[in-house]
Amino acid sequence: MATGASGGQPSVLSTLPKDLPLDFLKTITDQFSPEHILGTGAFGTVYMGIAPDGQKITVKKLAENSPIARDKLFTNEVQNIMALHHENVVKLVGYCHEAQKKVVQNNGRYIVADIVESLLCYEYLPQGNLQKNLFEVSCVMDWDTRFKIIKGICQGLAFLHSISIVHMDLKPENILLDGKMIPKIADFGLSRLFGQEQTRMRTQNVVGSYGYIAPEYLYKGEISTKSDIYSLGLLILETTTVEKNCSNNEPSATQFIKSVHDNWTDEHIVSQWPHLYGDRFQQIKVCIKIGLECVEIDRQKRPSIEEIVNRLNGLWSTGS
């Protein structure tokens, strides 16, 4: 059982039910104060919550005008990750789906209505997301840390695919890092749970992050584990090269992929990291090769997550 900040005693959160009261979440976020905001996105605003015993959690308040219905986002996250326990998947510690009476305006009149708030609570990860650590800080992460992150993301995705969950929104913003820079896959609002023996599905409602959407999903609405592999390839390329996939609001990552393919030669790698050699030089080369294989237009040519994990494990050495 989790212990409080002082140690020894159970934490407040561990003694509460998973279904957390809205008043409790308001209290620990100081009434959803702007000072507690960790980030905002199309699907909601993320706050830091501080329990009375000092324990921190992340509280995501789902947006009413989200691109996907709020109830669907809530259900996806709770059903798909509530019971998951893996080192590289963010832990959902609680949720809230509660109606409160509010006075709202309707057709020029004020009425009392039940307004439902939907919130999701996760373990707090102090290093923030991969996007920030790759592109928004002055000190570039060393290669060993970035390689550890790539391996961790792949291991987390292998776990999800093994239980038939397709994430559908892999990107640097949705990879969170703990105090030891261990990556955790987060944000399962778009995730899909496949039935037994099911390998792909089709949808008319294509929703995702520009620059990371697999072409067969973008243009045909086809979803499979290979959709995640495409996004993973871009994540690997960005983490390896520390170059941003700037799609300029275009849905395709074609220009970024072409740039990596054309520019990241052996000579370029050496020029970027002249002090790297041996194992680490090989790791960078293979990560770029795997990343480019993952973003093949033909999904059948993309490697499986099991193959990717095996190849990366084969590169690991005691010196890394």
One digit per residue, the tens of pLDDT, for the chain of length 320 reads 344 444 455 565 565 548 899 999 999 999 999 999 998 877 889 999 998 889 999 999 998 877 677 788 888 887 777 778 899 999 988 999 887 777 778 888 888 777 788 999 999 999 999 999 999 988 889 999 999 999 999 999 999 999 999 999 999 999 999 999 999 999 888 888 765 445 556 665 666 788 899 999 988 989 999 999 999 999 999 999 999 997 656 667 999 999 999 999 999 999 998 888 788 999 999 999 999 999 999 999 999 999 999 999 987 543 33
**Distance between CA atoms of 23 and 20, rounded to whole angstroms?**
9
- Integer CA distances (angstroms), 14 to 11, 88, 105, 279, 320, in order: 5, 21, 39, 43, 37
- Integer CA distances (angstroms), 15 to 1, 125, 156, in order: 9, 21, 28
Q: Is 271 exposed, middle or buried (0-12, 13-18, 19+ CB in 10 A)?
A: exposed
CATH superfamily of 130-315: Transferase(Phosphotransferase) domain 1 (1.10.510.10)
pLDDT for res 80: 78
Residues with Cβ within 8 Å of residue 173, at least 6 apart in sequence: 39, 41, 129, 130, 131, 187, 209
Instruction: Kindly list the catalytic residues.
Output: 169
pLDDT for res 135: 94
State which H helix or E strand residue 142 sits in.
Answer: none
Give φ, ψ of 271 to 5 degrees: -70, -30
Within the chain, which residue ranges are assigned CATH 3.30.200.20?
A: 12-123
pLDDT for res 318: 36
What's the gap between Cα 230 and its chain centre? 15
pLDDT for res 207: 67
What's the gap between Cα 193 and its chain centre? 16
pLDDT for res 68: 72
pLDDT for res 249: 63
State which H helix or E strand residue 76 sits in.
Answer: helix 70-81
Tokens representing 308 are 């990717």
Pair 89, 156: CB distance under 8 Å: yes
Give φ, ψ of 227 to 5 degrees: -65, -45
Amino acid at 258: K
pLDDT for res 2: 45
**Distance between CA atoms of 31 and 25, rounded to whole angstroms?**
8
**Distance between CA atoms of 151 and 175, rounded to whole angstroms?**
12
Helical axes 254-263 vs 279-294, angle rounded to 10°: 150
Amino acid at 197: E
What's the gap between Cα 215 and its chain centre? 20
Within the chain, which residue ranges are assigned CATH 1.10.510.10?
A: 130-315
Pair 27, 91: CB distance under 8 Å: no
What's the gap between Cα 26 and its chain centre? 25
Tokens 């015993």 correspond to: 53
Residues with Cβ within 8 Å of residue 258, at least 6 apart in sequence: none
Give the fold, CATH level 3, of 12-123.
Phosphorylase Kinase; domain 1 (3.30.200)
Strand 109-123 relative to strand 92-106, pairing = antiparallel
